[in-house]
Amino acid sequence: MVSLSRPPGSVRWNGGDVSTTGRVERTGIGRARALALVAMLMAGCLAVVAPVSVTPVSAAPGPMHAIVLPRLYGGSVSRVNEAGQMVGSRPDGQGGYVAFLATTAGAVDLQQPAGVRYSSPVALTESGIVVTSAATDTSYEVVVYPAGSTTGTVLPKGPFTSLSPTRVNESGQVVGSGTLPNGDTHAFVYDGTDIVDLGGPAGGYSTAEAIDPTGTVVTGSVTQSDGSTSVVQWTNGVLADLGNPGDGWIHLSIVGHDGTPAGSFSAAGRDSAVVVDGAQLVP
């Protein structure tokens, strides 16, 4: 068994620390997420952060090694890719949060656009593209950082007043949801040039959770005014309703390297996994 320790000055994971017994201490996260974090740490998929000498992190399961992430006291890592790159956010010392990119060589801050007070990474591709949700005093912006760059581009808002990104593909195409001037929430896709409103039901809302590598298929969910939900796909902007396995709630929260989305389905007090296989919803 791998022993886990938190050396002085290490980063806390969403308000919690992992003890040498594998127990998550002082957490503000749920038990399921805590157990998943411990499992990932013990599998060698994540790294404990500590002010010690650098030892390369192996991508294969095995013993963990510590890496140096300076100036990140009070910060947290939120995404990691197969190349060992990590992104997260840390306090900026002025009441806000700044996003950072880290490797085994250390960490660098991602430059924030003017007026941004809080910046949080929401997506990291295998090539190193980073997407952050950046909050100003009046709205939320989407900032895309090309692989290897600490300078990002603020996406246009199109018809929206505020944007909330969820995923990005290797072409830099971004999906998520946006707020319209009338208060409605619709799914959007950034096609590399413009923000496109994918539409939504009257009195309900929609969100996009996945985009395939070509950018032609976007998968998300639609919630009707009566609270019912269904998985939907937009292929070149054309909507197709993939339905719902039953009278329950669906949340797509995981996306594979090939853009295949998966998530959970809740009904009658039970949770089940669902996968979108092509144009079919598989419970």
Q: What are 135-155's pLDDT values in tens digits?
A: 999 999 999 999 999 999 999
Confirm whether 239 is domain-assigned: yes
- Mark which of 68, 99, 118 sits at the end of a domain: 68
pTM of the model: 0.71
Confirm whether 130 is domain-assigned: no
Distance CA 59, CA 28 (A): 28
Q: What share of the chain is helix, strand, coil (3-state, %, to 5)?
A: 5, 45, 50
63 shares its domain with 159:
no
The residues near 119 (Cβ < 8 Å, ≥ 6 apart) are 89, 96, 97, 98, 99, 110, 112, 132, 133, 134, 135, 143
Question: Structure tokens of 190?
Answer: 């950034």
**Residue 268 lies in domain:** 155-283
Q: What angle do CA 143, 198, 180 make, to 5 degrees?
A: 65
162 shares its domain with 280:
yes
Confirm whether 111 is domain-assigned: no
Burial of 275 (0-12, 13-18, 19+ CB in 10 A): middle
Residue 252, CA atoms < 13 Å, CB-side half-sphere: 34
The 3-state DSSP class for residue 167 equals strand
Which of these ranges, 30-34, 174-178, 195-199, has the smallest mean pLDDT? 30-34
**pLDDT tens, position by position, 101-139:** 998 788 899 999 999 999 999 999 999 999 999 999 999
